[in-house]
Amino acid sequence: MIGMVATLAFAAPAAAAQYAGIVVDAKTGKVLYSEDADALRYPASLTKMMTLYLTFEALEAGKIRLDSRVPFSKNAASEPPTKLGVGAGKSITVEQAILGLITRSANDAATALGELLGGSEERFTRIMTQKARALGMTRTVYRNANGLPNTAQVTTARDQARLGIALRQHFPQYYHYFSVTSFRLGKQVIRGHNRLLGSVRGVDGIKTGYTRASGYNLVSSAVADGRSVVGVVMGGRSGAARDQQMRKLLAAYMPKASRRGSGDLIAETRDAPTLSADSAAAVASIDLPESGPIPTYRYNEARIETAYAATESKAEIVGKRALAATLKLQREAAVPQEEVTGEGDADVDELTTSAVKADPTPSGWVIQIGATPDRDQAQKLLAKAQDQGGKALSRATPFTVAVASDNGQLYRARFGGFGDQDRAAAACKALKRKGFACWASQQ
């Protein structure tokens, strides 16, 4: 323990949310690629991988069942987004909580699971750190169950690769949850953040993460042609850049992985030493940055949607009052994105009610032209825009997305099918000339 404390105390801090990455052959343990893999980084929502590991362990031990109830305390219910929004005193099942962590990266569900398994979140975080040591994660310290910003909560790309391999190796009966892209909770259909699932051959999980201090993080598992790897990217400058880097790593190093090997790589050490008070203090004293790179500018969609909803809830959505109010807010709202305290890859968590059949959601670049409490009005807005958009929208796909708002539910009017940012921006430019509000984003 003395050697580890000294190492942690004198580790060079990252000056900003710097890049780190690693690719490990999950059958042999061979490191195929490494860059700053042992440098301390903030885990952000990768923290939830350990919360899930301990949840799977409790399931395997028979301490809980998938249908056991997870109560939400006032503390859990008050966690900032992203979250499931379960009220204090209410509960969901363990399986629903697992899916909430994997898809929406729900901070409230992570805290609720921690309180259930540990008696308190503080005690649970001690268990998390002890488990990290038992798995050979020598440089990881946990301070909460969800990954919300905490300067004492640190990890490395190598440690996260070990955890990713351990999840797959130790809990094959539960690992399939990491490939789930959406699930139903009550009247909501909650969709996931992992853009590589279904778009990169062989990828079957695991977890994304983001805070301003950490940058954009991703742990990915891939299995193809008898080969298996786990890759980690930390400190990405954007969600898209992070995903692209992972795609490149998987394409480059998957063919170099072995088809042989047992894959039994992470042997848990039951009597592994736990963190001493001195060690924990040493890690807490490391001067990691309080904030990382500011993500690209975007429009504050919530304010724009409010203008639509408040002025035109009973009339045509393209009415002059709504359009004027929206355009005014759009000009005012070109501000940097606020820190996303849980999972930052999606601008706003999307959901669909059970009463409404969602339109297919195109991937890639999309544009949004407004939102309204009435789905028919959103479709009328799309039809009007497509009629006036000319060639810029000739191949675009109109669709609506139902989202929760403070005043109930809104339907976002969007077009998809743009191959790149330039085409999406050109379509917005054409629509703005016709008087429409418009902004582009990447799905």
CA dihedral (165, 167, 168, 174) in degrees, to 10, reads -170
Q: Is the sign of the CA dihedral 240, 197, 100, 220 positive or negative? A: negative
Nearest to 51 by CA among 108, 90, 92, 89: 108
Alpha helices (H) along 19-85:
47-60, 74-77
Pairing mode, strands 365-372 and 203-211: unpaired
371, two tokens: 């939102």
HEC string of 320-386?
HHHHHHHHHHHHHCEECCCCCCCCCCCCCCCEEECCCCCCCCCCCEEEEEEEECCHHHHHHHHHHHH
Token pair, residue 264, equals 């039994």
CA distance 262 to 244: 30
Residue in 396, 364, 105 with CA at minimum distance from that of residue 240: 364
**Closest to 233 in 3D by CA, of 22, 434, 437, 401:** 22
Interhelix angle for 121-134 vs 47-60, to 10°?
90
Nearest CA to 110 out of 84, 130, 133, 141 is that of: 84
Q: Is 243 helix (H, G, I), strand (E, B) or coil?
A: helix
Give the active site residues: 45, 48, 105
Q: Which amino acid is at 56?
A: F
* CB neighbour list of residue 362: distance below 8 Å, 6 or more residues apart: 397, 399, 416, 417, 443
| Contact status, residue 102 vs residue 52, Cβ threshold 8 Å | yes
* Cα dihedral across residues 218, 185, 86, 112: positive or negative: negative
Round to the nearest angstrom and report the end-to-end CA distance of the chain: 45
Q: Is 207 annotated as a binding residue?
A: yes
- Binding site, by residue number, is 207
